[in-house]
Amino acid sequence: MIVITGGAGFIGSAMIWELNRSGRDDIIVVDDLGLAATGKWKNLTGLSFTDFIHKDTFLNLVIENRLSEIQAIIHMGAISATTETDANLLMENNFRYSKELAIHCASNNIRFIYASSAATYGDGNKGYDDDEKNLDQLRPLNMYGYSKHLFDLWAKKQGILEQAAGLKFFNVYGPNEYHKEDMTSVVFKAFNQIMEKGTVKLFMSHRDDYRHGEQMRDFIYIKDCTAFMLWLLENRSAHGLFNVGTGQARSFNDLVNTTFSALGLAPDINYIPMPETLRDKYQYFTQAETGRLMSSGYTRPMTSLEDGIKEYVLGFLNTKNPHFEKDIP
């Protein structure tokens, strides 16, 4: 059996799709679905799995060592909002919960793959190198990033990273992110703004070295993330921290223009002031260094921004059913 925590979430449910596509449905989904109105449950409707367990119940099973026949735990469950202000809640969900799972996996020879975050890099002035020797130098800009960073540090100190794989996801976009509200990708937000008003709002730049809309991110399509995670399941010798990005930063202007192009429309962008509360915490440039990922033996090329957005917009967002289903190629 394969356990996926956060299995009803964005990356978790996409990983169920990836496993279904490879012929597997021996999957235990662990999550908290919350209110039905959020629509998170819809991510599971077209997928195949064996069982669903609430995240609190699952943690008790782990602590009491009442699990058996588990091949791997793919730990995507977390509070992922970079704007979350409850530090204790973040520590409980993103740090303590992860520690319990990691200890259980290490003690029982279970493959452990977990979500870290590019938010651990802070403002990027220390670069985006996933070499574990640089971990102590990183200074996250928000509590979410710190909770992820703290677990990375703990995992390194405890030797967990000598057998587990931690994934520093950059800016992921794609199907099944719809329940994330303010944390959805700019692609999703741009599509909906185009459909509603025909124009897209982007933040102005408040730095002289960046023009409006030329702030840059490493945008990665969800299918590239799940393909790498499947490879990690099949290649247990690959361990440590890995940046999960394309290795090529692109501007928000590029992203929005590509979204308009996928719909056959001329671009119309409205630049608005960035809120004062964000300006000191805003990253103007992120780009994954992917040397460790490639040197691990993983050879599949990443999807271009143009191809990823076109598939997302035309194959999912602009259709009657925008969710992953097990029969979708």
User: Can you give the pLDDT at residue 123?
Assistant: 86
Task: Note the pLDDT tens digit of each residue in 245-281.
Answer: 999 999 999 999 999 999 999 999 999 999 998 888 7
Q: What is the pLDDT of residue 30?
A: 98
What is the CATH code for 2-174+219-247+285-302? 3.40.50.720
In terms of residues, how long is the chain? Answer: 329
Catalytic residue among 99, 180, 281, 310: 180
Burial of 308 (0-12, 13-18, 19+ CB in 10 A): buried
State the average pLDDT over residues 233-256: 97
| Full-model pTM | 0.95
Q: How does pLDDT run across 61-96, given as a tens digit for each residue?
A: 999 999 989 999 999 999 888 878 899 999 999 999
List beta partners, residue 216.
Answer: 251, 285
In the residue annotation, 99 being an active-site residue is answered as no
pLDDT of residue 141: 87
Instruction: Tell whether the model's pLDDT for residue 174 goes beyond 90.
Output: yes
Q: Please indicate whether residue 144 is annotated as part of the active site.
A: yes
Domain ranges of the chain: 2-174+219-247+285-302
Residue in 213, 217, 130 with CA at minimum distance from that of residue 172:
217
Q: What is the pLDDT of residue 279?
A: 84
Q: Which residue has the higher pLDDT, 228 or 282?
A: 228
Q: Which residues contact 314 (CB under 8 A, 6 or more apart)?
A: 262
CB 164 within 8 A of CB 102: yes
| Calpha distance 42→178 (Å, rounded) | 10
Q: Which residue in the list 114, 144, 146, 312 is annotated as catalytic?
A: 144
d(CA 33, CA 220): 26
pLDDT-above-90 percentage for the chain: 88
If pLDDT is split at 50, 70 and 90, which confidence band does 328 have? confident
- The whole-number pLDDT of residue 327 equals 87
